[in-house]
Amino acid sequence: MRIHIGCEMSFDFRQETPLIAMLNVHYSRASDLERPDFLTSDPPVPIESYRDSFGNWCNRLVAPSGRFTLGTDAVIRDPGTFEMADLMAWQHEVRDLPSETLLFLLPSRFCESDLLADEAWRLFGHMPLGIARVQAVCDFVNNHIVFSYGNARPTRTAAEAYREQSGVCRDFAHLAVTFCRALNIPTRYCTGYISDIGMPKPWSSMDFAAWMEVYLGGRWHVFDPRNNSPRIGRILIASGRDAADVPLTHTFGPSTLESFKVWTDEIVE
């Protein structure tokens, strides 16, 4: 399957403003791109690219004052099948985990696994280890939080989402990440594209999404507490400890987001 993916974001800046953008497909999917998904801007400005400490591809630039647009556009190849969970994946003892996964057991800015540890063990400590326990977390979070753009805010933490029972996909992911870390399962926060390919219509307007990956059975596995169902065409952009590590854009000054478009369209041969 071939999928047309991309985004366009337009800002209004009061003055020249440094900006970091994380909008490119993750290196683990780069070989599936038919051509590089270069970040472009209007008006054009010099763009410097680098990898952050998690291996995510980042772009830094200085946006001029006034209207400024940036985005990507690409075609990516995808298996075109629904995601399949490995039901036999086991949960590692902490002492047996690879050292590079230990960071994803620790509390972070939006995922206060220390604050919610007692609640995590109360809710899920009786569940079987491994995939079944992670799925129980996702089922709980999916039922506990009501999706609402109107109640979104960029500073909400997992503990606050748990109390308020409202939020957007990042809040679902943060809470599930937090519970899993408290249960000694390495878990990282992910952002990227999730298509509606294969889902019943009508489809809502596309947006970037958040989900998580857990380390079980010697590899990372995708779980999506917001949608809580397999998808076709999930395309990773970045992963980290939480949303603070992987913002789509980070501006070092005042700005107003004027428009925002995302597309993930199947190309019918």
Domain with CATH 2.60.40.2250 in the chain: 2-79+248-267
Name the architecture of domain 94-240: Roll (3.10)
Residue 53: strand, helix, or coil? coil
What pLDDT does residue 196 have? Answer: 87
Q: What secondary structure letter does DSSP report for 33?
A: B
Q: Give every residue of the chain whose pLDDT is below 70, as ranges.
A: 202
By C-alpha distance, which of 233, 181, 236, 221 is closest to 25? 236
* Topology (CATH) of 2-79+248-267: Immunoglobulin-like (2.60.40)
What is the model's pLDDT at position 208? 92
- Whole-number Å distance between alpha carbons of 140 and 182: 15
Q: How far apart are CA 71 and CA 261, in angstroms?
A: 9
Q: Which residue has the tokens 């606050």?
A: 160
How does pLDDT run across 132-168, given as a tens digit for each residue? 999 999 999 999 999 988 888 989 999 999 999 999 9
Q: How far apart are CA 173 and CA 185, in angstroms?
A: 14
Residues of the chain with CATH 3.10.620.30: 94-240
Contact yes or no for 191/248 (Cβ under 8 A): yes
Given this model, what pLDDT does residue 200 score?
80
- Give the CA count within 13 Å in the CB-facing half-sphere of 56: 26
The residues pairing with 60 across neighbouring beta strands, listed in sequence order, are: 20, 48
pTM of the full predicted structure? Answer: 0.94
Nearest alpha-carbon partner for 165 in 148, 187, 188, 190: 148
pLDDT tens digits along 183-216: 999 999 999 999 888 888 767 777 899 999 999 9
**pLDDT on residue 149:** 83
Before 186, cis peptide (omega within 30)?
A: no
User: How far is 172 from 2, CA to CA, in rounded Å?
Assistant: 29
